[in-house]
Amino acid sequence: MQLKQTSGLLVLCSVIGLSGCSSVVTEGSSAAAGVAGTALAGKVTNNAAVATGIGLGVQAAARAGVQYEQRKIHGEEQDAIASVAGSLAAGAVANWQIQHSLPLEDNERGRVTVSRIISSQGMSCKEIVFSVDGLVGQAGKPTSEFYVATICQSGANWKWASVEPATERWGALQ
């Protein structure tokens, strides 16, 4: 039985590792955590309530870990856009793209422009309009989606200062 569980986990882990689809990763890691939690609970106790608690705890921890990684990836994308937009003057347009460190999300590309500059008493911010034109490496006619955000200068870097478009694009994973 142990060999069967181990081989099932290896297959699941390989599917998760090769996938660029975050929903497969989220659900796959949740399922793998459920299997691992069940195996752990079976070794620790015969009490069904305790076993259920262990399984739910392991599953919640796995889901939280995946969501943390997704937030990091979305932060990388926001930082890439902010970095390009930070050097632009109002009205100028530049291209942006992201190569994610973990393949949980697609590597996207687009354009960004500064629609207005917001500065006062040592605070330097910009309102930007950016597009998501498709995947990096895919040529052809873009299927653009447009978003508005605010970035602000933080030391030498420009950082994302608004919640949008994270809510619409990524749900609760900002």
| pLDDT value of residue 63 | 81
Rounded to the nearest integer, the mean pLDDT of the chain is 73
| pLDDT value of residue 16 | 44
Enumerate the β-bridge partners of residue 149: 128
Are residues 54 and 32 both part of a single domain?
yes
Q: Which residue has the higher pLDDT, 73 or 31?
A: 73
Are residues 82 and 158 both part of a single domain?
yes
Domain that holds residue 10: 2-73
Q: Which residue has the higher pLDDT, 108 or 170?
A: 108
Q: Which residue has the higher pLDDT, 84 or 30?
A: 84
Percent of the chain surpassing pLDDT 70: 63
Are residues 62 and 78 both part of a single domain?
no
Which residues, at least 6 apart from 120, have a Cβ–Cβ distance to it below 8 Å? none
What's the domain count of the chain?
Answer: 2
Query: Residue 84, class by beta-carbon neighbours within 10 Å (0-12 exposed, 13-18 middle, 19+ buried)?
Result: buried
pLDDT category, 58, cuts 50, 70, 90?
Answer: confident
Q: Which residue has the higher pLDDT, 16 or 128?
A: 128
Are residues 23 and 52 both part of a single domain?
yes
- For 6-39, write each residue's pLDDT tens digit: 334 333 344 344 444 444 444 555 555 555 555 6
Across 116-128, b (16+ Cβ under 10 Å) vs e yields eeeeeeeeebbbb
Alpha carbon distance 71, 50 (integer Å):
31
Are residues 34 and 115 both part of a single domain?
no
DSSP, collapsed to helix, strand or coil, labels residue 131 as strand
97 pLDDT higher than 70: yes
Q: Calculate helix-pair angle for 48-86, 22-44, nearest 10 degrees.
A: 150
